[in-house]
Amino acid sequence: MLRFILNRLIAMVLTLWAVSFVAFAIIQLPPGDYLTTYMATLAAQGERVDPRAIEALRQQYGFGEPYVVQYWKWITGILTRGDFGQSFEWKAPVTTLIWGRLANSILLEGLAVVVMWLIALPIGIFVAVKKYSLGDYLATVAGFIGLAIPNFLMALLLMYLSFVYFGTTIGGLFSPQYESAHWSLPRLWDFLSHAWAPVLVLATAGTAELIRILRANLLDELKKPYVTTARAKGLPEWKVILKYPVRVALNPLVSTIGWLLPALVSSSVIVSVVLNLPTAGPLLLRSLTSQDMYLAGAIIMLLGVLTVIGTLISDLLLAWIDPRIRYGSK
Amino acid sequence: MNQPLLSIKDMSITFSSPDEADIEAVRQVDLVLTPGKTLALVGESGCGKSVTARAVLRLLDKNARIPKGEILYDAEGGRVDIARLHPDSTAMRAIRGNQISMIFQEPMSSLSPVHTIGDQIDEIIILHQRLSPKKARERTISLLDQVGIPGARDRSNAYPFELSGGLRQRAMIAMALACTPKLLIADEPTTALDVTTQAQILDLLRQLQADFGMAMLFITHDLGVVAEIADDIAVMYLGDVVEQGDVFEVFRAPKHPYTQALMNSVPRLQRKAERTRLTPIKGTVPSPKDRPVGCAFTSRCPHAFAPCPGQRPERTPVSPGHVARCHLLTHVREEALA
């Protein structure tokens, strides 16, 4: 098991290195750079551009230098000083900008994942066991509706309904007075009273998908002979199903946890824009449109890290629940 | 001693499906199982032998019904008709695994891939004997030892995929015997194993039967295995038991044309020069939907005559304990009388 973890960690470091390289390549792709746009804007406004300041920035970021050298400067900054560079648009270090937003993202999307599983697991088991029953059809129809409604539409719908029927607006994650306060019970309550809507919106589509996958997996497993063996032992039916086929049917789902996180982050961009949520998604979107390359690079890089960590977690979980994987890696 | 433990009387099993008419997979089965004896249920694939065995434990799929007949079992608390119990009732579950247990064909897929064999055997002991997990594990280890698994203590922590086919089937047998059942149903337990392992497993089953004194219902399509292990034999064809009786009696003088045909299709060890072509049964098994009203074997029987397609042959005693369902038996006799 230790060796398994070690192997995965080595693979993880290599993957991260590749991710950083690609991330840097992506933010370099658009023609020109922020500095040229920046100078052009300043000159157009009639302001005097301090050549020394520009030169200092050029030096710091190594614009005009070969790609590999620029990459080297960027990555060593991250590794040695935790310095992701400067955001041009916000005129602040990237690190001060992203952590809060990234934490919001992870919190929100983590909650969405939990809600997704809490809803999908019992329903998925129910519809597989009661295949072609009324409940199965109802859950299927509801699931497909959830799958088919775009997230942003659902968000708009929720906003509209809550405004019309409850007279409240949903949006943001905190009331203004709690915006920058420390975590406390009232702040948590405030967060939850704001977060339910985005969590619900983010969870619906995933829930429907999860139910479908779980149902299909479980239908396969329910026919396997080991289920009959468990029944032949004299176990009650619910225990038979929960202990054996459900356990096996969960394996492929656990492996999806890894890419669930980044998928949620990217799918939540529009929802976050619609609901005005201070998460990483809108920040990424804006930094990409304004060529704020170090900010965009940092977010892409951190999403990569999230993906890799998520994959590691699901690998470890999978190895923990499925001995065939644990021993197969020897 | 000769008191029957379980008797199946005139049982039929039908499967319903939403798109088609009901299929009567088993039309009429009468079987008697006695303690210490082995009854072999023989027949081609799809003849209903597995379905019959599963019906005894009520392990059939949800779309199966037992519309007719009874399965009388002498339980600890008195005689019960298993055919009338609800499959998931407490009464049925108290019998399953505890008084009647079952071994399956494929030991790999019949054991959970994600639980150790120790866990899977402990479970049945804890369930029926209410032992503590620790004591259950001790019992599991002694069981594994008893079925001839070397290094039982370590192996109890092994997962099924870490064991060979033979060891897996031994673990399966240990599980089935965990609560010292009165009846063991073995559904083709050696079909998936190679010949040497098969011989060992049959040996083990015979020895365990001598030790525990249980009755055994042994399902197979291999007549060699029948000769090895059975006391009695019942031959099934397309949902009907066509002939049954003492195994030597039936093998020596098979009375039903189907049994005779089965015997003729067993290869014998011969010199190449003396080999003769096997005589396979002509045609294929029809679907239960196309089964004749009369004798099910009519469409393939070389001796079929007037009464066969329309009239069910009665159970005709041939000699003490040996019965067959064939019109030839009754009609030849009638002709002789006339």
What would the pLDDT profile of B291-301 be if each residue is shown by its tens digit?
888 899 988 88
Given a cut of 60, whether residue B158 has pLDDT beyond it is: yes
A180 vs chain B: nearest CA distance in angstroms?
Answer: 48
Tell me, yes or no, whether B133 and B216 share the same domain: yes
Q: How far is CA A47 from CA A41, A43, A44, A53, in A?
A: 9, 6, 7, 13
Identify the pLDDT of residue A94.
85
Given a cut of 90, whether residue B81 has pLDDT beyond it is: yes
* Structure tokens given for A170: 């949903």
CATH code of residue B196: 3.40.50.300
How many C-alpha atoms does B54 have within 13 Å on its Cβ side?
Answer: 21
Tell me, yes or no, whether B180 and B47 share the same domain: yes
Q: Which residue would you say has higher pLDDT here, B275 or A129?
A: A129
Query: Is residue B112 situated within a structural domain?
Result: yes
Tell me, yes or no, whether B129 and B79 share the same domain: yes
CB of A234 less than 8 A from some CB of B = yes
Point out the domain boundary residue: B209, B230, B251.
B230
Identify the pLDDT of residue A330.
43
Tell me, yes or no, whether B317 and B265 share the same domain: yes
Q: pTM value?
A: 0.80
Report residue A187's pLDDT band, with 50, 70 and 90 as the boundaries: confident
Its domain, for residue B303, covers 259-337
How many beta carbons lie within 10 A of that of residue B331, not counting itself? 15
Report residue A113's pLDDT band, with 50, 70 and 90 as the boundaries: confident
Q: Which amino acid is at A231?
A: R
Identify the pLDDT of residue B90.
92
> Are B159 and A323 a contacting pair at CB < 8 A?
yes
pLDDT single digits (tens) A30-66: 776 677 777 777 777 777 777 777 777 777 666 667 7
> Are A226 and B175 a contacting pair at CB < 8 A?
no
Tell me, yes or no, whether B207 and B278 share the same domain: no
Query: Is residue B251 situated within a structural domain?
Result: no
Question: A190, A178 in Cβ contact below 8 A?
Answer: yes
Domains annotated for chain A, with CATH where assigned, are 31-83 (no CATH), 101-328 (1.10.3720.10)
Tell me, yes or no, whether B226 and B263 share the same domain: no
- Nearest-by-Cβ selection for A234 from B97, B114, B172: B97
Considering its fold, how many domains does chain B have in total?
A: 2
> Are A234 and B159 a contacting pair at CB < 8 A?
no
Biggest CA-to-CA distance, chain A: 86
Identify the pLDDT of residue B336.
52
- d(CA B250, CA B258) in angstroms, rounded, equals 12
Contacts of A323 in chain B (CB under 8 A): 113-114, 116, 159, 161
> Are A324 and B113 a contacting pair at CB < 8 A?
yes
In whole angstroms, how large is the CA radius of gyration of chain A?
24
Contacts of B111 in chain A (CB under 8 A): 226, 229
Q: What is the mean pLDDT of residues B243-260?
A: 93
Q: B113 in the Ramachandran plot: left (φ > 0), alpha (ψ -120 to 50) or beta?
A: alpha
Give a three-class secondary structure readout of A42-57: HHHCCCCCCHHHHHHH
Identify the pLDDT of residue A127.
92
Given a cut of 90, whether residue A279 has pLDDT beyond it is: no
Q: What is the DSSP letter of B24?
A: E
Tell me, yes or no, whether B305 and B191 share the same domain: no
> Are A234 and B96 a contacting pair at CB < 8 A?
yes
Burial class (CB in 10 A: 0-12, 13-18, 19+), B48: buried
- For the four alpha carbons of B64, B67, B73 and B77, in that order, the dihedral sign comes to positive
- Nearest-by-Cβ selection for B112 from A232, A237, A244: A244
ipTM: 0.86
Instruction: Output the average pLDDT for chain A.
Output: 83
Tell me, yes or no, whether B37 and B139 share the same domain: yes
Identify the pLDDT of residue A328.
60
Identify the pLDDT of residue A128.
92
A307 vs chain B: nearest CA distance in angstroms?
Answer: 27
DSSP sequence for B176-219: HHTT--SEEEEESTTTTS-HHHHHHHHHHHHHHHHHH--EEEEE
Tell me, yes or no, whether B222 and B332 share the same domain: no
Query: Is residue B242 situated within a structural domain?
Result: no
Query: Is residue B243 situated within a structural domain?
Result: no
For the CA atoms of B204, B208, B210, B215, what is the dihedral angle to 10 degrees?
-110
Tell me, yes or no, whether B52 and B188 share the same domain: yes
Identify the pLDDT of residue B286.
85
Point out the domain boundary residue: B211, B230, B249.
B230
A252 vs chain B: nearest CA distance in angstroms?
Answer: 13
CB of A222 less than 8 A from some CB of B = no
Identify the pLDDT of residue A188.
83
Point out the domain boundary residue: B230, B245, B267.
B230
Identify the pLDDT of residue B335.
58
Q: What is the mean pLDDT of residues B209-214?
A: 91
Residue A235: closest C-alpha in chain B: B93
Query: Is residue B249 situated within a structural domain?
Result: no
A129, A132, A223, A229: best mutation site toward chain B, by most B Cβ within 10 Å? Answer: A229
Residue B120: closest C-alpha in chain A: A230
Residue B178: closest C-alpha in chain A: A233
Choose from A25-29, A139-143, B8-12 the range with maximum mean pLDDT.
B8-12
Instruction: Output the average pLDDT for chain B.
Output: 89
B98 vs chain A: nearest CA distance in angstroms?
Answer: 7
Q: What is the mean pLDDT of residues A82-94?
A: 81
Residues 6+ apart with CB under 8 A from B240: B27, B28, B29, B295, B296, B325
Given a cut of 60, whether residue B217 has pLDDT beyond it is: yes
A228 vs chain B: nearest CA distance in angstroms?
Answer: 7
Question: A222, A245 in Cβ contact below 8 A?
Answer: yes
Query: Is residue B151 situated within a structural domain?
Result: yes
Q: What is the mean pLDDT of residues B36-49?
A: 91
Identify the pLDDT of residue A245.
93
- d(CA A162, CA A158) in angstroms, rounded, equals 6
Query: Is residue B238 situated within a structural domain?
Result: no
Contacts of B54 in chain A (CB under 8 A): 228
- Helix residue ranges, H only, A233-256: 237-243, 245-254
Which single residue is written with the structure tokens 């049982």? B11
> Are A231 and B98 a contacting pair at CB < 8 A?
no
- Nearest-by-Cβ selection for B57 from A232, A322, A324: A232
Query: Is residue B248 situated within a structural domain?
Result: no
How many C-alpha atoms does B47 have within 13 Å on its Cβ side?
Answer: 23
CB of A133 less than 8 A from some CB of B = no
CB of A324 less than 8 A from some CB of B = yes
Size of interface A-B (CB pairs under 8 A): 75
Tell me, yes or no, whether B193 and B283 share the same domain: no
pLDDT single digits (tens) A202-243: 888 778 888 888 999 999 999 999 999 999 999 999 999 999
Q: Is B153 helix (H, G, I), strand (E, B) or coil?
A: helix
Identify the pLDDT of residue A235.
93
Identify the pLDDT of residue B333.
55
Contacts of A250 in chain B (CB under 8 A): none
A226, A235, A251: best mutation site toward chain B, by most B Cβ within 10 Å? Answer: A226
Q: Long-range CB contacts (< 8 A, 24+ apart) of A181-184? A: none
Among B315, B292, B170, CA closest to B234? B315
Q: Which residue would you say has higher pLDDT here, A144 or A126?
A: A126
Tell me, yes or no, whether B173 and B320 share the same domain: no
